[in-house]
Amino acid sequence: QSALTQPASVSGSPGQSITISCTGTSSDVGGYNHVAWYQQHPGKAPHLIIFHVSNRPSGVSSRFSASKSGNTASLTISGLQAEDEADYYCFSYTSSTIYVFGTGTKVTVL
């Protein structure tokens, strides 16, 4: 099972919106609505920000939104803030009854 494909880096200025893509296959992202997104700051554990494709846990900013089309999931961060600078990982259940992470995207706030 290969890792899901994400861009290595995305950057934006404060207040802007950025979108991170996560490309898989019909056996993972395209086949299930069990897609999640995690934010990870240096030295910290991953933090859940999106589950079941587009749902936000309580306490997560509404500036984070996500969707899926075919085999590609997307995470959008609106009104970019300095605290959003972190690594972001997508995550999906697969038909092999296992889980797979994305390759990770480093978000830089310019």
Task: Please give the residue ranges that form the binding site for other proteins (CB under 8 A).
Answer: 1, 3, 32, 34, 36, 44-48, 51-52, 57, 89, 91, 93, 96-101, 103-104
Nearest-angstrom CA–CA distance, 88 and 86: 6
Dihedral class, residue 21 (left if φ above 0, else alpha if ψ from -120 to 50, else beta)? beta
Cβ of residue 40: shortest distance to other proteins, in angstroms? 8
Cβ of residue 36: shortest distance to other proteins, in angstroms? 6
Cβ of residue 53: shortest distance to other proteins, in angstroms? 11
